[in-house]
Chain A
Amino acid sequence: MTLSTALRQKYTPTIGIECHVQLKTATKLFAAVGNDAREAEPNTLVSHICFGLPGALPVLNKEAVHLGMRAAYALGTVPQKYNAFDRKHYFYPDLPFGYQITQYAQPIVLGGSVAIVVDGQTKLIRITRAHLEADAGKSTHPTTSKDYSLVDLNRAGTPLLEIVSEPDMHTSAEAKAYAQELYLSMRFAGVSDCNLYYGNMRFDVNVSVSTTDQLGTRTETKNLNSFRSVEKAIDYEIERQIELLEKGQEIVQETRGWNDAKQRTFSQRTKEDAHDYRYFPDPDIPPVVLDDDFIAVVRDEMPILPNEWRQRLQSLGLDRPAMEALLDAELDDPEVSYLGLIEEVLSDKDFAKTLANWFVNLEVPLRRDVSTHLNQALTNQGRLALYRAVAALIASGKLNSTNAKILITKVLTGEEQIADIEAFARQHNLIQESDEGAIAAVVAKVIEENPKATTDIKNGEMKVIGFLVGQIMKASQGRANPGLAQELIKKQLGL
């Protein structure tokens, strides 16, 4: 299905996203039962509460509220001092109470925004609300038999934060950027592991198209679990809706699913099947009133969030790809503390930028390469000391950039913490020669061996000096100071 550009431009798509983020609490939202259902056998992470037995009462997990508060700050707003839980009623075998417990009337987050960058343009996507709620269990309907279904309640009661955006997006690229930015924010804020493979983050996309200022009828495509499927499902829906409208047909307001194999959406439930959920305040769970001191503690404990990191990195002169690479690397391996180390040396901008570049170009790829043997003896402060020493050696002309990379790699993949980096570099013949006499001999030898180049230089082709410097570096096994070598060439040729 591919529509002409002209046809696509006739319509403005409007996109809103609901994102379910699984909070990384140790236990469930309302039960003291383990929350990590990834590898657990079915129905092993359950209690009388998850099972909905008579007399079982939900009791709110304080840590889930705490993470909801952190999410508020991550979304650029403050948590709601008063928030409360409601019951949303419907019958399904994976919903043991017969109602879902969710923050309907008074969510923990109201407002906020997420900044995205698409084609170099920054755009704010407004957040309507974000609320805490309990997940349902998991139903499996065997294809071999219609006589039974299987229910696994391990996931029942898992704490979720549903983040609802305003319909502020108009392209699938914006939607994808929004989803990715939410991912980064929630991970940096420590709210969720956001493991998409395990469904820690699921997206429902609301899409409509219109040729006027009035919004068209929307569809909701549910349970997208990758950034790519968010993008693809939206593209598919936009085209499907335009095609229908062009044929003079109407869009049906409905819930749709995504078939990843066929790369298309399909109808699941129309509005006529909509439930009356009979929301009302859950009388088992007293309303949450956040203590001002608790709010202050959470506000003050917030880590630096992606956009703030970007501002800091940008002030060093880093480009966008380098910044994003660092943010990604930080999440992949937080213990290595790339950003923390940069932050530590931020007052020395030149060194901070050099350090950032070494991280992006050298250490991150090195660590990502599974075949790399990493120096286990090296602490984060040990690494910082290494980088400082290397920078000092460069500044004093004792190390060139090529050898600096070799030196760093040797230490990072070595066996021990190196106290004296210069001695170590010297031991490995990496310190560059700045003794004029010693280099002069090499220069003389290279000039003698390269008469054609020498002639060219004398004839004014100054670029060829670079070739001779290269030969000198080679002859000195990289130890010659290239600046000094260049000066000596000119001197010896009488230029």
Chain B
Amino acid sequence: MQASQWLPIAELSAKVRAGELRAADLVEQALKTIEAKKEYNAIIATIPERARTRAASIDAAIKNGETVGRLAGVPFIAKDNFLVFGAETTAASNMLKGFTAPYQSTVIEKLEAEGAICVAKANLDAFAHGASTENSDFFTTKNPADVARVPGGSSGGSAAAVVLDMAPFALGTDTGGSVRQPASFVGCVGYKPTYGLMSRSGIVAMASSTDVVGTLTRTADDAAYVIDVIAGRDPLDGTTIERDPAGYTDVPAAMKGKKIGLIKEWMGEGVAPGVATVIRSAADAFRAAGADVREVSLPSLPLSLAVYYIVVPAEVSSNLSRHDGQRFAFSYADAATLDESYTQSRGNGFGAEAKRRIMIGTYVLSSGYYDAYYRKAQTVRTKLINEFNEAFKQFDFLIGPVAPTTAFKIGENASDPLQMYLADVMTVGPSLAGLPAISVPAGTSDNLPVGLHIVAPQRSDRALLGMAKAAEELLA
């Protein structure tokens, strides 16, 4: 990754705590960069007043010798599906346009408790439905590597913002690849933790059984530093798990002796040759560094996209039910009856992709179709999980590409939802199995970034971060 105006996060916050840097200056620096690069459409809105107020109070606290958190003064950008108290939270949808968050997400709460400052809300595919940000109801984010191309999605705004140096880190959400795939497309580190490691409370839900909070950073070290703050059980989310007692920072880079499986099903037909080349040379580099890299087959993996596009729309159709125009955000004003209020509010508030997923999800959950679709998909999902478990008996990590191609052109897949869904073909498997996975920059193909996908067993996030660091060093 190119040189950055931001120090590594640990150093940056240390300097703020030591009084060598002021939080107020860092906030201005972030806001200035955002303004200077606004033609990329990475950001939906900045929240300057809130950021400046928080920066001032942190600087004052430091001046008074008070203890401040370990992210003191570090600006960050949140995908616009995170509720930030008092800020508009749209999920890039017309449905939520104008919705001001009356509470905030647990991860924002944890970051702020350690002194981090949210400066802006990043663009996404509306309700996180998409792989390019083209489904944003507002605008499409441009890929910093090539402005004619998409940044991936749905956390495309967050990923682009990090590469554009707008802040030291950004938050995204990953339901089926929405952090890893844009990280691969723009060339930054995208981390998807074990399902449940971070609270989903206060994040506009997409699919409850695979939604996770992810980080977009310049390095694996930065990711580890942020994860260490936000990981852990939350009384507001019943699916959260305990953090690793060893924490996530100070993880040594480790490659020698590691058993690594190169997933055969991710290297075959449909993968762009340039992408495959980058991944194979990464595997070679790992071998040269003392890792035992062998090919592994997970025969059910090609079914994961089909499973994903049944299970996830089912959950989406249900989770979007609360957007009914009756209590908050968009409501059709001229309805004469309750039914009309529902149909017009939802009909006008949701975009095409949300409607498509609501229809698919409603269909697969309908009586008479449930067994053929939803139940069968969950059965295959269990088979897939078992295959991952089997593979992890032989291997410490599994690797492959994050996406079959590099960033595609804006508009290229926009009219073909199935083609767009294929962009998730490699990322949905680990999502369905709840596995931690990361996208690490591994090289380029035709000057476009290619990410290496590293997948680890559930709850081995700490080990995965160590592996990612080693990969970073070897692939830099």
What is the interface of chain A, defined by CB distance below 8 A to chain B? 48, 51-60, 87, 89, 91, 93, 96-99, 149, 151, 276, 278-280, 282-286
Using known A-B contacts A51-B327, A99-B321, A278-B365, determine if residue A285 contacts B238 with beta carbons closer than 8 Å. Answer: yes
Q: Output the residue of A51, A56, A60 with the most chain B CB within 10 A.
A: A56
What residues on B are CB-neighbors of A58 within 8 Å? Answer: 238
Q: Are B83 and A54 in contact (CB under 8 A)?
A: yes
B239 CB-CB contact with A under 8 Å: yes
Q: How far is the CA of A51 from the CA of B103 in the complex (A)?
A: 12
CB-defined A-B contacts under 8 Å, sample of 25? A48-B103, A53-B102, A53-B327, A54-B89, A55-B83, A55-B105, A55-B204, A57-B208, A57-B236, A57-B237, A59-B238, A91-B342, A93-B324, A96-B322, A97-B321, A98-B322, A99-B321, A149-B338, A278-B317, A278-B362, A278-B367, A280-B314, A280-B370, A283-B207, A284-B208
What residues on B are CB-neighbors of A56 within 8 Å? Answer: 201-202
Q: Output the residue of A96, A99, A279, A284 with the most chain B CB within 10 A.
A: A284
Using known A-B contacts A89-B318, A283-B208, determine if residue A278 contacts B366 with beta carbons closer than 8 Å. Answer: yes
Using known A-B contacts A54-B204, A57-B237, A286-B239, determine if residue A99 contacts B103 with beta carbons closer than 8 Å. Answer: no
CB of A376 to closest CB in B, whole Å: 43
What residues on B are CB-neighbors of A99 within 8 Å? Answer: 318, 321
What is the interface of chain B, defined by CB distance below 8 A to chain A? 83, 89, 91, 96, 99, 102-103, 105, 200-205, 207-209, 235-239, 314-315, 317-318, 320-324, 326-328, 338, 342, 362, 365-367, 370, 374
**Interface residues of A, dominant DSSP:** loop
CB of A276 to closest CB in B, whole Å: 5
What residues on B are CB-neighbors of A285 within 8 Å? Answer: 238
CB of B444 to closest CB in A, whole Å: 37
What residues on A are CB-neighbors of B320 within 8 Å? Answer: 98
Using known A-B contacts A54-B83, A59-B236, determine if residue A276 contacts B367 with beta carbons closer than 8 Å. Answer: yes
CB of A71 to closest CB in B, whole Å: 22
CB of A92 to closest CB in B, whole Å: 8
Given contacts A278-B367, A280-B318, 4 further A-B contacts (CB under 8 A): A55-B203, A93-B324, A280-B370, A284-B238
Q: Are A91 and B205 in contact (CB under 8 A)?
A: no
Q: How far is the CA of A356 from the CA of B105 in the complex (A)?
A: 59
Q: Are A55 and B102 in contact (CB under 8 A)?
A: no
Q: Are B327 and A55 in contact (CB under 8 A)?
A: no
Cβ-Cβ contact count across A and B, 8 Å cutoff: 95
Q: Are A54 and B91 in contact (CB under 8 A)?
A: yes
**Interface residues of B, dominant DSSP:** loop
What residues on A are CB-neighbors of B209 within 8 Å? Answer: 283
CB of A65 to closest CB in B, whole Å: 12
Q: How far is the CA of A215 from the CA of B318 in the complex (A)?
A: 37
CB of B16 to closest CB in A, whole Å: 29
Q: How far is the CA of A87 from the CA of B321 in the complex (A)?
A: 11
Using known A-B contacts A278-B366, A283-B208, A286-B239, determine if residue A57 contacts B200 with beta carbons closer than 8 Å. Answer: yes
Q: Output the residue of A89, A91, A151 with the most chain B CB within 10 A.
A: A91
Q: How far is the CA of A97 from the CA of B328 in the complex (A)?
A: 12
Chain A residue nearest to B322 (CB atoms) is A52
Q: Are B102 and A48 in contact (CB under 8 A)?
A: yes
Using known A-B contacts A96-B322, A98-B322, determine if residue A55 contacts B201 with beta carbons closer than 8 Å. Answer: yes
